[in-house]
Amino acid sequence: MAQVYFEDIKVGDEIPQLKKNCSTQQLVLWAAGSGDFYQIHYDKDFAQNTGLKGLIVHGALKNAFLGQLLHDWIGEKGQLRRFGCSYRGMDEPNQDILCRGVVTKAYADGGNHFVELDVWTEKPDGKKTSPGTAVVTLPSRS
Amino acid sequence: MADEFEITDEMRAQFGVDSAPWTYEVTTTSVRMYARGIGSDDPVHYDVDFAKSQGFRSIVAPLGYLGTPVFLPGKNDPTFGFPRREGGPRLNIPFKGLLDGGTETEYFDVICAGDVLEESSHLADLKLRDGPRGKMLFVTNESVYKDKATGKVVAKQKLTSIHM
Amino acid sequence: MADQTYFEDVKEGQELPPIKITPDKSQLVKFAAGSGDFNPLHFDEKFPMLKAMGLSENIVHGRFKYAQAGRLVFALAGYKGRVKKFGVNYRGMDLLNKEVTAGGVITAKRQEGGENLVDLDIWTQDADGKKTTPGTATVALPSKNS
Amino acid sequence: MTQATNSVITDEMRAAIGVEGPQAVLEVEKTNCRMFARSVGHKDPVFFDEAAAKARGYRGIVAPPGFLGTPIFNPASGSGGAPGEMGGRGYSVPYKRVLNGGTDYEYFPEADVICAGDTITARTKISGFEESEGSLGPMLITRRETTYTNQHGKVVAKMYGTLIQY
């Protein structure tokens, strides 16, 4: 993907979306990667005993998806300064999770070119399950 | 077709043909994770200071664990993690069924966290047997693990798959 | 870890203290994480291959059982002994949440190349006592005389 | 932080604000950087391939976003929990249910970028309490901040966590 520059973007722009769909295997891979072995993410009976309908996607995995969304967008010359989200809704395995971001602010400060964004994950019906914000720096053409 | 299957000279010619090498890493976190995975609470797998006090270089890899293959997206199997690499034996096996037949590990040194191993595998054995439901082909591949720093062989592992 | 076992301490026919474990899903997921084998056969009860095998419950990784046999052999070797070789065959499946017992018996003692070697039959057995993972092992033990 | 008459925030809790908890040591290794990146679905070789990462100017394989190292697990000491876990804080809250409200990660790339081979020390403190009334009833929101310092003494990341009790 071509490097994005500060001059290329303006407030209101949406960055390229990232679509995810977690298999049960991916949830177990995430347990391995994150060290979070809480059973509600891979043991259906356990999840149902806690009152859930079934397995749910780790909130931190959706957060990490937003990290990927930003990492892939800013390219080799961009830097991720801050990102995160609130956990407002649950996602299930084998259902699309769309990761999105919109530029809310762009400014230069101390030689760095900052871009602030609203980022979130949404379900197929458009409900935002993990709304958050991010700050990145982009290279400048000047 | 499977009923008429016989081991051919062409197949036997694959014995000893080494695959391209792949790097396996043994790290403190990977050793601890494996030890947790098998339910061991032996401190020699978790506590670096303790392991050193017992004469080991670092925490000891539990038996059966020979490191984690370097994972590169697109180059490793997404489920099993093993490398899909060039070289090595190519067998055209007509059987559909596949079972994991067995694992045997031979050790020439203790494997500890911090070790970086270079693994290469080759076809070690082919056996055709008559089973209750027809012919069964036993394929044994042997992986040889060398310490990358010293070149010394530290372990050999044979994996047998049963095709039927 | 128990005290070090020496070559002089063991005799032919001696059984090793068994290791018992009842792997639940969390245990098998941790094993997937440790071993790198993320086959859903071991954690997803809806995985199609499971149904094709006529099973409704996840099966234990063969390598998990191999590792239990490994724990048994490692416990015999102690920190001063060295495991030379251990292997098993996978003859039967074990199911999630059922007890797996690793056991072993000493079949021979011998001295070779300056080493004090102990040969063993090893296995894991399922809750019904069926040896689903039989095998053999060789361990070098330290001697009290050296 | 208004003091409602039925506030659950006690003097003990106020005294706990800003007090750093015990330190957790985290290891950043090639194997766990790769495992984390693989589990997210990253494709960028800087998270997998040491040579590619070095060619891009990094010291080693880069820790993917959200990965701040693996706590050292030891069954004997019961350690190995993620930093930021509460532990004995010396106060109790009259709510039984807990939710993870969200997590923000802040990086300081000018100081250093977290790479495989790093050993990170993490310390968590409570930065504040808030109370609110939501659809779940009255709730206590605890804001926590974890600071991650690498082996060169550089603060490389901070994590801001929100815990909701109700």
In the block, which residue shows the tokens 């600071």? D147
Distance in angstroms (rounded) separating the CA atoms of residues B92 and B149: 36
- Whole-complex ipTM: 0.92
Residue A55 located in a structural domain: yes
Q: Is C45 on the interface with A (CB under 8 A)?
A: yes
SS3 A6: helix
* Cα D147 from Cα D15, distance rounded (Å): 20
Gap between the Cα atoms of B14 and B125, Å rounded: 10
Query: Which residues span the domain enclosing A128?
Result: 11-137
Give pLDDT, residue C66.
98
Which one of D29, D38, D49 has the shortest CB-CB distance to B29?
D29
**What pLDDT score was predicted for residue C2?**
59
Tell me, what's the pLDDT at B122? 93
- pLDDT range class, residue C146, cuts 50, 70, 90: confident
Q: For residue A37, list chain C residues with Cβ-Cβ distance below 8 A.
A: 26, 29-30, 33
Q: Is the pLDDT of residue D124 over 80?
A: yes
At D134 the pLDDT is 80
The structural domains of chain D, with segments of one domain joined by +, span 11-74+91-165
Determine the Cα–Cα distance for residues A140 and D127; give it in Å rounded to an integer: 36
pLDDT at D84: 46
Per CB-CB distance under 8 Å, the chain B contacts of D48 are 70-73
A6 part of a folded domain:
no
In a domain, A67, yes or no: yes
Query: Is a pLDDT exceeding 60 seen at residue D2?
Result: no
Q: Which CATH number is D11-74+91-165's, of 3.40.50.450, 1.10.10.10, 3.10.129.10, 3.50.50.60?
A: 3.10.129.10
Q: Note the pLDDT tens digit of each residue in C100-139.
A: 999 999 999 999 999 999 999 999 999 999 999 999 999 9
Per-residue model confidence (pLDDT) at position B164: 84
What Rg, from alpha-carbon coordinates, does chain B have?
A: 18
C31 touches chain B (CB under 8 A): yes
Q: Does C68 touch chain B (CB under 8 A)?
A: yes
- Who among A68, A70, A85 is closest to D40 (CB)? A68
Cβ atoms of residues B80 and C37 within 8 Å: yes
Residues B124 and C115: their CA atoms lie apart, in Å, by 27
What distance in Å separates residue A39's CA from the closest CA in chain C? Answer: 7
Low pLDDT (below 50) residues in chain B: none
CATH number at residue A101: 3.10.129.10
- Residue B36 near chain C (CB below 8 Å): yes
Fold for B9-25+67-163, please state it.
Thiol Ester Dehydrase; Chain A (3.10.129)
Asked if residue C96 lies in contact with residue C129, where contact means CB atoms within 8 angstroms, the answer is no
Mean pLDDT along residues C31-40: 96
Beta bridge partners of B163: B98, B137
End-to-end CA distance of chain A: 21
List the beta bridge partners of residue C123. Answer: C103, C134
Q: Is the pLDDT of residue A111 over 60?
A: yes
Instruction: Supply the DSSP string of B129-162, one letter for each residue.
Output: EEETTEEEEEEEEEEEEEETTT--EEEEEEEEEE
- Look at residue A15 and tell me if it is in a domain: yes
pLDDT tens-place string over residues B108-150: 999 999 999 999 999 999 999 988 888 899 999 999 999 999 9
CB contact under 8 A, D39 and A33: yes
C-beta atoms of C44 and A24 within 8 A: yes
pLDDT of residue D86: 46
Using CA coordinates, name the residue in chain D closest to A30: D39
- pTM of the predicted protein model: 0.93
> Looking at the domain that runs over C11-141, which CATH code has it been given?
3.10.129.10
- Note whether B111 and B60 are within 8 A (CB): yes
CB proximity B68 to C under 8 Å = yes
Instruction: Find the residue in B nearest to C69 (Cα).
Output: B63
pLDDT, mean of residues C15-21: 98
How many alpha carbons lie under 13 Å from residue D41 in its C-beta half-sphere? 20
Q: What is the mean pLDDT of chain D?
A: 90
Touching D (3+ Cβ pairs <8 A), the chains are A, B
Distance CA B143, CA B159 (A): 8
| pLDDT for residue B89 | 66
Put simply, whether B104 touches C (Cβ < 8 Å) is: yes
pLDDT (0 to 100) of residue D91: 81
Quickly state the pLDDT bin for A116 (edges 50, 70, 90): very high
Domain edges within chain C = 11-141
In chain A, the number of structural domains is 1
d(C-alpha C67, C-alpha C6), whole Å: 23
Does residue D36 carry a pLDDT above 80? yes
- Residue B56: its pLDDT value, please? 98
